[in-house]
Structure 1
Amino acid sequence: NLLMARGRRYAHVRNRSLALVVLMLACASLSACGEQDTAKGDAIVVGIGTNPTQFDPRLSQDAISSKVQRFIFSRLISKDHEGRTVLELAERWERPTPLVHRFELRRGVRFHNGEALTASDVKFTFDSIRDPSLASPKAAGLKELARIETPTPHSVVFHLKEPSASFAESLMVGILPKSARAAGNRFAEKPVGSGPFEFVAFKPDERITLKAFPGHFAGKPAYERLVFRILPEETIRVLELESGGVDFLQNAFSPDILPRFINNKRLKIRKRLGTNFTYIGFNLSDPILSRLEVRRAIAHAIDRKPIVRFIHKGLVREADSLLPPDHWAHQEGLPRYAHRPELAMRLLDAAGFPDPDGPGPAPRFTLVYKTSQNELGRRIATVFGHQLARVGIRMKIRSYEWGTFFGDIRNGNFQLYSLTWVGISDPDIYRYIFHSRFTPPAGLNRGLYKNARVDALLEEAHQSADTGIRARAYGEAQRILGRELPYINLWHSVNVAVFDRRISGYRVYPDADFISLARATLSPAAGDR
């Protein structure tokens, strides 16, 4: 079995690497790596694998940036740990008509620089997102917005051009002070928000340091500092958690590492099925991948089951849609693509790509598959490559540091890639990903998919407040997308958090958000008592 053989080789190499790293770190005094500013008792240190790409919530698209921003900025409304929409900066939300959203803001909220947060700051934030000169990727979610009024310093009213069932999702953006206008592009260098933590410093490839904001409207956090250590290598993240240099990891390690954490009495483990969705994306303007038979062949060539069992250790659930099975808009009976390599080869023949030498080594064609330097992602990519080789497709794997990789995907510089959509809740995400009007930079249709019927269905669902109408429209759209395969649906993830037992009160969110750490408590380390 290829996967089990690769697993044994990987374990051997990994164990040798772990031993070497332990020796190196011991010689360098591992405890010093955390530096004095992460002293136990007053800081929680989170291990992450990549740098954030952006500290301005109007401009970011990646998950790490969003997770860090949640601590710095507050939103009008947000999601709680059950995925329910709740008030945050708003203390009242009224919808007198389908075209009007009226918010009354909390009194006494202040930004980290001491400025009072008022309706004019809310208006500035959303007006700037709509400004074409900012080129915000979040502008697509505000296309239905006609104007914003601020009748009082604590009242803000959004007027829509047409009904939008998902407009509330577009309001879940961190609010900036209007003084950010003067800072321009430099605002992200020292961001100012009203969240539970203030920005202190960012050392690329090393750490992000935040400090507790004593003036936060929900009360000052129970510990002084929140530090994100940027550790691209999984081995280092694991060793740092075990040695105490890091206090918290979530979804930042391979599933086969989990048993060693279970046996560590100093650590807690929390699991929860999440809404994160992993897929393979196609560039539909590519002369090979534009052919439906080729995409179907690739779907039948890939065998997800051994990856789920041997690499993910059962911590994912196979997906047939962006939406998990228990979501209200998930459609039953969607097309599924069983592992059928013989059918895949027949489809490739029919697409005009015959095998040039039968069982010989020559491929039908070659594709480039892009991924990040995440170790788990690279292992899975290697398995995909072997599976595609069996049907005559040569797959060249190209892995890049996160910023370069994500930049290529945003700019359409790819044939094949795999990514994860984080925190899917409202099915209107289908519109941003697959509507022909939302190709970059206006939206997230990076594969350049076009289907007039899908466009019409997604518009119908977007404009209706009737859940039944929306479910029917999304259901038909899912069936069409399942047949036409702009994506190969892979799996939904189980979120796994592993953290020091000194941390209490942390809840795992369905979208893998870290924000529950803001309300967590931290017991003193043994040496601090």
Structure 2
Amino acid sequence: MRRPKPTPEARIRAPVTPHQEPRRFLMFRSFQPLLLCAFLLGGLGLIHLPAHAQPTRLTIALGTAPQTLDPRFAVSPGERHLTELIYESLVTQNEALQWVPQLAERWELVRDTEYLVTLKPGVWFHDGTAFTAERVKAVFDALLEPSAPARFQRLADLLASCEVEDERTVRFFLHEPLPESLFLSTLQVPIFKFRGTPNSKSGVLVGSGPFRQVSHNSAELVFRRHWYYRDGSPDVKELHFQIVPEVETRIRRLLNGSIDIVNNAFPIKELAKFRTPTAQSKFTLLEEIAATYRYLVFNTEHPILQEVQVRQAIGRALHREELVAFLTKNHARLASGVFPPEHAFHVTTQNLVYAPESAVALLEDAGFRLTEEQRFQLRLTTSNDKEQIRLARLIADQLAWVGIEVNVTPQSSGKFRNALAGGDYDLAVLQDRVQGDPDVLRAFFHSSQTPEKGGRNFARYRNLELDALLESGRYEQNRAQRREIYQQVQRMLAEALPHLPLWYGNNLALVSRRVSGYRFHPAGDFHAFRTLRVN
């Protein structure tokens, strides 16, 4: 009788040793001479060993170190991209930004406010325990609590509860009927467990993604492939993420071959160094349009910036085309709003035109006269990233031409976040990747979505008419009517300008020629690392 194949859980908890399996150990001993010959011949090149059989590792450069790899508290795009390699969600978005199953197998609308989600079979956590409906319920129960991290507080507005139907089925209950795309966006939550028993409520977090974290220090993160990953173990054995803040060091390591991949982590102005014949023999430069939204945010509680005429004047005083050409070398597209043209709910609005004379007239009409070559002073707060500082200083230079004195105040990542959250700034340069359901506009602009309430309304913009439209769009079931609502929302924002859109940045990557299978995802994340091959 054939013995059944052990589960990952059984293998991890009861590893095979020579003392436990003497017969298997003796068989190994009897094949040792043959294995030694194969090793020697392979080393001499007389036997070809396939590339995928070799232990492989890739080294990826990161410009900044993540503050956390806990998926509940990951805030920055870099932190989220790293955690998505360790933890997966019930659904994800494909390259066309459509919702597709990840840990879920399918979903079904049972009633207007009730969905049945069936989970994929054969999914294992990194510690060998099985993925079940009980684990899904435990995660969502925790994130629906009032004490949940700010990133997930919107879930409680949409989801009422979830219940276990059976081992592979979860029933979700909504407060009100929702468009399917909005419901699916609530399922994009990292599923995790605590190491130990399936019902542990504290300790080390464990995921089920293609890689698991094995070490973490100030210089490097090391991820190792998950042998029992649901879609098959990745070909790459280890990912080494090196923290290299200095641009010059990053370039030197790239050129000497000690780094394999840099994804959106190098200055555009340095691209010329990778267009030489020597560099091109080692690396491929890949580029694709993306949904990276760069913008200037106004603190609308500021006594000067609360005036819409002032915000419009600043919009006309900035030569955005010049900024794009100078800073990105045209590796970006001028932005007209939050959504890029390829987004299903994008609407064409009247684009801001560089018109400094009109800007001066608006400032004069608002009562800000030129006195001793200036009208007023503002602070422009930014992170201490060198490219962000360059952008901030160019903005300050352009605004000086219309009499607005801008003091650029770079801050560390932590202080910058705190300044945004507390409203301790006048202007700030930000960047977001915006895709998925248009309800994201609610997080950016609804008056209830200020940072202290878990939202991203850093502008602290308040408009009751806009609030009503955002609420209506959230629950509208008819797609055509929903689209019309969000078109109206975007036109109102283009007029009120709580954000000044700058550009949509392209995805750029330098990839070693020994790596194949690299492709971009619109979210700019690390999806490609799941399927990379080393030649």
TM-score where L is the length of structure 1: 0.86
- Aligned sequence identity (%): 32
Contact 1:274 1:423 in 2 (8 A): no
* Alignment partners' CA distance in 2, 1:364 and 1:249: 44
Secondary structure in 1 aligned to 2:506?
Answer: strand
Q: Indicate yes or no: 2:370 matched with 1:355.
A: yes
* Alignment partners' CA distance in 2, 1:321 and 1:423: 11
Contact 1:71 1:196 in 2 (8 A): yes
* Alignment partners' CA distance in 2, 1:168 and 1:54: 26
* Alignment partners' CA distance in 1, 2:127 and 2:502: 45
Give 1:462's aligned residue.
474
Deviation of 1:41 (Å)? 6.0
Of 56, 60, 70 in structure 2, the residue corresponding to residue 46 of structure 1 is 60
Contact 1:110 1:215 in 2 (8 A): yes
Contact 1:59 1:138 in 2 (8 A): no
Deviations 1:144-173 (A, max 9, x none): 211101111111111101122212112112
Q: Indicate yes or no: 2:502 matched with 1:490.
A: yes
Deviation of 1:178 (Å)? 5.8
Give 1:429's aligned residue.
440
Give 2:93's aligned residue.
79
* Alignment partners' CA distance in 2, 1:494 and 1:53: 25
Instruction: Give the alignment of 1:246-285 within 5 angstroms.
Output: 246-263=259-276, 264=279, 265-285=281-301
C-alpha distance 183-444 of structure 1, shift in aligned 2 (>3 A): same
Secondary structure in 2 aligned to 1:238?
Answer: helix
* Alignment partners' CA distance in 2, 1:469 and 1:58: 34
**Code of the aligned partner of 2:242:** R
Deviates more, 1:297-306 or 1:138-147: 138-147
Give 2:9's aligned residue.
none
C-alpha distance 407-114 of structure 1, shift in aligned 2 (>3 A): farther
Larger Rg: 2
* Alignment partners' CA distance in 2, 1:68 and 1:50: 12
Deviation of 1:244 (Å)? 1.7
Can you give the 5+ residue segments of structure 1 that lack an aligned partner in the other structure?
1-39, 524-529
* Alignment partners' CA distance in 2, 1:56 and 1:164: 29
Instruction: Give the alignment of 1:116-515 within 5 angstroms.
Output: 116-165=130-179, 166-177=182-193, 184=202, 190-204=204-218, 206-263=219-276, 264=279, 265-332=281-348, 334-357=349-372, 360=373, 363-440=374-451, 441-515=453-527
Instruction: Give the alignment of 1:53-72 within 5 angstroms.
Output: 53-72=67-86
Deviation of 1:404 (Å)? 2.6
Q: Indicate yes or no: 2:108 matched with 1:94.
A: yes
* Alignment partners' CA distance in 1, 2:435 and 2:412: 25
Deviation of 1:81 (Å)? 2.5
Contact 1:317 1:491 in 2 (8 A): yes
Instruction: Give the alignment of 1:5-44 within 5 angstroms.
Output: 42-44=56-58
Deviations 1:231-271 (A, max 9, x none): 22222222221122221111111222223323321101221
**Code of the aligned partner of 2:468:** A
Give aligned pairs, total. 474
Deviations 1:326-378 (A, max 9, x none): 3221122x132211112212222222221112xx4xx2221111112222211
* Alignment partners' CA distance in 2, 1:183 and 1:145: 22
* Alignment partners' CA distance in 2, 1:347 and 1:503: 54
**Code of the aligned partner of 1:229:** Q
Can you give the 5+ residue segments of structure 2 that lack an aligned partner in the other structure?
1-53
* Alignment partners' CA distance in 1, 2:127 and 2:438: 37
* Alignment partners' CA distance in 2, 1:178 and 1:153: 19
**Code of the aligned partner of 1:255:** I
Deviation of 1:443 (Å)? 1.6
Secondary structure in 1 aligned to 2:138?
Answer: helix
Contact 1:301 1:387 in 2 (8 A): yes
Contact 2:320 2:502 in 1 (8 A): yes
Contact 2:62 2:265 in 1 (8 A): yes
Give 1:8's aligned residue.
none
Deviation of 1:311 (Å)? 1.8
TM-score where L is the length of structure 2: 0.85
Deviation of 1:194 (Å)? 0.5
Deviation of 1:493 (Å)? 1.4
**Code of the aligned partner of 1:125:** V
**Code of the aligned partner of 2:269:** D
Secondary structure in 1 aligned to 2:206?
Answer: coil
* Alignment partners' CA distance in 2, 1:426 and 1:259: 38
Deviation of 1:383 (Å)? 0.8
Contact 1:366 1:393 in 2 (8 A): yes
**Code of the aligned partner of 2:301:** S
* Alignment partners' CA distance in 2, 1:259 and 1:173: 40
Contact 2:332 2:506 in 1 (8 A): yes
Give 2:3's aligned residue.
none
Deviation of 1:182 (Å)? 5.0
Secondary structure in 2 aligned to 1:78?
Answer: strand
Deviations 1:21-53 (A, max 9, x none): xxxxxxxxxxxxxxxxxxx96211111111223
